Structure 1
Amino acid sequence: MIRFILFCQLTSFLFGQKIFEEFEKDRNNRYHYKETYRFDTVTDDGSYTVLMDKIEGDITVSTHFGAGAELTITRKIRAVTEKKAKQLVKNANILVFHLVDDQLIQIRSEKRIQYKRDVTTQFELKLPTNINLNLETSGGDIDVKDIRGESILKTSGGDIDLSNVMGRMEAQTSGGDIEVTGSEGLLRVHSSGGDINIVNSDGQFNASTSGGDLAFRHLTGNIDAHTSGGSISLKNIEGETIKCQTSGGNIRAEDISANLTGRTSGGEIEIENIKGHVVVSTSGGDIDAEQITGSLTCHTSGGDIEGQEIIGVVNSSTTAGDIEMELSYDSSIKDYSIILETSSGDIQVQIPTGLPVNIDAEIHGTGTIQDLNSEIPLKIISAENRVSGTGQVRDGTVPMRLRVFYGTITIRQE
């Protein structure tokens, strides 16, 4: 008798308390089975963890303030007979444990499901706000709202949606999209075949996808972004550093207050209203920069470069394209220098009033003086296969170096 009582006590601590069970027939050989578990002693202080592994199905997490947790498992079954449906439920049995000493709720399949097409499972968790998650599903979506704690989320074949979450977060999907809204903390997300969208969040953001686009909007914090087969867009970002790289798409950044580094192997780059140091390059596209305050370093191997309202240090080069640069001047910024170079194209540069440039211009591959046009007086020298011109505005404290191969140089003054 003593042994029996002890076994019952241990069991009550190990297995979750099932408070509801329902099996019903719907129509067209379809059934559903629902079971609910309650965990009244789960605290709202961040000490508990929910662990889900070796399961398949969608996972939904919502929260409340205060202690107590609830799990509802719903299975939809397709079977010819009720007996067959119940057998499928039995084969897809889910084990639920409440390990009080470890402050852990564990949910896992008893064995591998053999009738995946005939049984679909949904897990609904209602948890305290302050709790940790370690959730993994082999074939469903994960939807998490209002969590404060550490979250590790993995799915092999679905989307991940995070809303109003705080803490350290890791999310990974092998075949779906990731959507993050209202997060705060360290965020690491990866998708092997989908898009990633992060909005209205604060913290540090690390995002990568092997086959989709990346979008960041209305964020405060640093960003490290990488995609092998898509584009990257950034808008309204405030931070210290932004690093982005794509192997086959475009990069677009707008309304940024941070140092920006961007590289694409096969796309175009568009940047607008950036306050910070910008370093961007593309192997096969154009670069369009507008309203840059700080510095601009850019290179393209196969496109044109166009800049408007650029304030600060400029270093732009293209292997096969034109450069058109409209500079602006802010006397409060002391660090100025301009280097423009194209190996096969033309250069047009507009110099603002008040910018004391010291011009050093050269055209290689021609001896025609008319290929060097300037509204600022220059001393022009023509030699065999080269035209050079020098001159300055005021005291000429800002160096300007212009180099063209087989093209023309045009200098205008505002």
Structure 2
Amino acid sequence: MKTRTIYLIVFTILSFASYLSGKDLTDERSKTYKVSAGDQLYVDANPGDITIAVWNRDEVEIATSGIDENDYENLTIRQSGDKLTVSFNPRWSHSTDLSLKITVPNDLIIKVNTTAGEIKIKDNIEGKINLFTSGGDVSVKDVKGDLQIQSSGGDITTDNIVGIVSVRTQGGDITLGNIKSTSASVSTMGGDIKIKSGGSLLNVETLGGDILVERANGDLNARSSGGDVVVGEFGGNSLRIETLGGDLKFGPSNGNVLALTSGGDIYGGKITGSADVKTNGGDINLELDPKGENPNRILTNGGVISVMLPSDAAVTVEAKIKLRGNARDDSGEYKITTDFPSAVIEENNTRLEKSSVIKINGGGKKIYLESSNGSIRIQKK
């Protein structure tokens, strides 16, 4: 019985050693293919990391590494007409370290799919790019063509994109550098979004994080279901920002501003267009220099309104404080005040509300201010 046991142990050790020897990974292999402008490159790797760079040749070089010798039969490269296809889909893969390094001319149409790997693209690619990964990060830099990225579980980073942009991830953060496109759509279901500079039109949405746009050169629509929205410089005609559970902050704007939050404060820089601002549960602090055609409407259902105006502003302010609950019996706590000593004020106070019509520098552009159980302050800059 002991002799048989020894034989079984030796057999097991030898079998395991043989298995390990079969897992030796091959060295890097490469091959080139002739292509023309506008040809298509399709890459499908399961799993694998993919890196694409540019060179000045009418060729595509495909270099592979980290593939188990037994998995090489599952790597296929086919060229038919204007389409070059690279596919790695092993049934049982030991090649968990697969790396595809592909060098291309800058005018190809590129489509990449990987179920468990990272995608990196750099250099000045002018063709369209379509990228998808189920479980890895994506990094793209210096693209002149249209860019579409989808990820089910990773972060996305881009910079210097000129074409139309569509970026979506279900479980990661999105960080975008300069976007120079005419249109960009960015969304994530579970992370933050940070954009350095947006193009002519920028649509941004997250269901579970914050949004930061350092500069929007064109119109901006930004919405968060559970975080803050912050916009630095704004150079477009229309700014629309909304959150269901955080604060809103935005810098100076020459256009029209729509800012809505269901549960936070609102802070705004100098608005020379028009403002439509509302919060259901916080304070509002704005600087206005109303020169737009539309009136300005500022509303809070649970906080203080502070509006700063230039000393020479010719405006008519209609301010109202609605008194609710115990505030009706202690209304002296809530006041409508102004720093403009020469303003003409008409007051109308009742147990249910306080209201004033304030004409500053003779009156002019309309500003409507309304709060519930919160004071209203009109300040001079």
TM category, shorter? 0.7 to 0.9
Does 2:53 match 1:62?
A: yes
Distance 1:140-1:372 versus aligned 2 partners, 3 A rule: closer
Give, in angstroms, the shift of residue 391 of structure 1: 5.0
Counting matched residue pairs gives 347
**Deviations 1:325-382, CA, capped at 9 Å, x for gaps:** 1023xxxxxxxxxxxxxxxxxxxxxxx33x3333444444459789454532424344
TM-score norm. by structure 2 comes to 0.83
Give, in angstroms, the shift of residue 392 of structure 1: 2.8
Give, in angstroms, the shift of residue 52 of structure 1: 1.6
Identify the residue that residue 194 of structure 1 maps to in structure 2: 172
Q: 2:159 aligns with which of 157, 181, 198?
A: 181
Question: Using the alignment, how far apart are the partners of 1:359 and 1:237 within structure 2?
Answer: 30
Question: Using the alignment, how far apart are the partners of 2:198 and 2:337 within structure 1?
Answer: 45
Q: Is the 8 A contact 1:254 1:274 kept in 2?
A: no
Does 2:114 match 1:137?
A: yes
Give, in angstroms, the shift of residue 155 of structure 1: 0.9
Give, in angstroms, the shift of residue 110 of structure 1: 5.7
Distance 1:268-1:72 versus aligned 2 partners, 3 A rule: same
Give, in angstroms, the shift of residue 111 of structure 1: 4.0
Does 2:296 match 1:314?
A: yes
Q: 1:36 aligns with which of 10, 13, 30?
A: 30
Does 2:225 match 1:247?
A: yes
Identify the residue that residue 300 of structure 1 maps to in structure 2: 279
Residues 24-103 of structure 1: matches in 2 within 5 Å? 31-39=25-33, 41-43=34-36, 45-46=37-38, 48-53=39-44, 55-75=46-66, 77=68, 86-87=69-70, 89-90=71-72, 93-99=74-80, 102-103=81-82
**Deviations 1:70-119, CA, capped at 9 Å, x for gaps:** 10111255xxxxxxxx33x34x62011121xx21111113642x134x54
**Deviations 1:218-256, CA, capped at 9 Å, x for gaps:** 3332111111111111112212x2111111111000111
Q: Is the 8 A contact 1:362 1:388 kept in 2?
A: yes
Identify the residue that residue 3 of structure 1 maps to in structure 2: none
Q: Which SS does the other structure have where 2:298 is aligned?
A: strand
AA of the residue aligned to 2:30: T
Q: Is the 8 A contact 1:149 1:168 kept in 2?
A: yes
AA of the residue aligned to 2:141: S
Q: Is the 8 A contact 2:301 2:371 kept in 1?
A: no
Distance 1:394-1:303 versus aligned 2 partners, 3 A rule: closer
AA of the residue aligned to 1:74: S
Q: Which SS does the other structure have where 2:366 is aligned?
A: strand
Q: Is the 8 A contact 2:144 2:162 kept in 1?
A: yes
AA of the residue aligned to 2:252: N
Identify the residue that residue 357 of structure 1 maps to in structure 2: 315
Q: Is the 8 A contact 2:299 2:370 kept in 1?
A: no
Distance 1:66-1:263 versus aligned 2 partners, 3 A rule: same
Give, in angstroms, the shift of residue 168 of structure 1: 1.7
Question: Using the alignment, how far apart are the partners of 1:363 and 1:228 within structure 2?
Answer: 33
Give, in angstroms, the shift of residue 195 of structure 1: 1.1
AA of the residue aligned to 1:321: G
Question: Using the alignment, how far apart are the partners of 2:47 and 2:376 within structure 1?
Answer: 65
Q: Is the 8 A contact 2:306 2:377 kept in 1?
A: no
Quote the sequence identity (%). 25
AA of the residue aligned to 1:267: G
Q: Which SS does the other structure have where 2:196 is aligned?
A: strand
Q: For structure 2, which runs of at least 5 residues remain unmatched after alignment?
A: 1-20
Q: For structure 1, which runs of at least 5 residues remain unmatched after alignment?
A: 1-26, 78-85, 329-351
Question: Using the alignment, how far apart are the partners of 1:127 and 1:176 within structure 2?
Answer: 25
Q: 2:308 aligns with which of 326, 329, 337?
A: 326
Question: Using the alignment, how far apart are the partners of 1:373 and 1:110 within structure 2?
Answer: 71
Identify the residue that residue 339 of structure 1 maps to in structure 2: none
Does 2:137 match 1:159?
A: yes
Q: 2:241 aligns with which of 239, 248, 262?
A: 262
Give the alignment's Cα RMSD to 1 decimal.
Answer: 2.7
Question: Using the alignment, how far apart are the partners of 1:243 and 1:176 within structure 2?
Answer: 24
Question: Using the alignment, how far apart are the partners of 1:208 and 1:391 within structure 2?
Answer: 43
Q: Is the 8 A contact 1:290 1:310 kept in 2?
A: no
Distance 1:377-1:185 versus aligned 2 partners, 3 A rule: same
Give, in angstroms, the shift of residue 315 of structure 1: 1.2
**Deviations 1:162-188, CA, capped at 9 Å, x for gaps:** 111121211111111111111111111
Identify the residue that residue 215 of structure 1 maps to in structure 2: 194
Identify the residue that residue 363 of structure 2 maps to in structure 1: 396
TM-score norm. by structure 1 comes to 0.76
Question: Using the alignment, how far apart are the partners of 1:33 and 1:126 within structure 2?
Answer: 18
Give, in angstroms, the shift of residue 321 of structure 1: 0.8
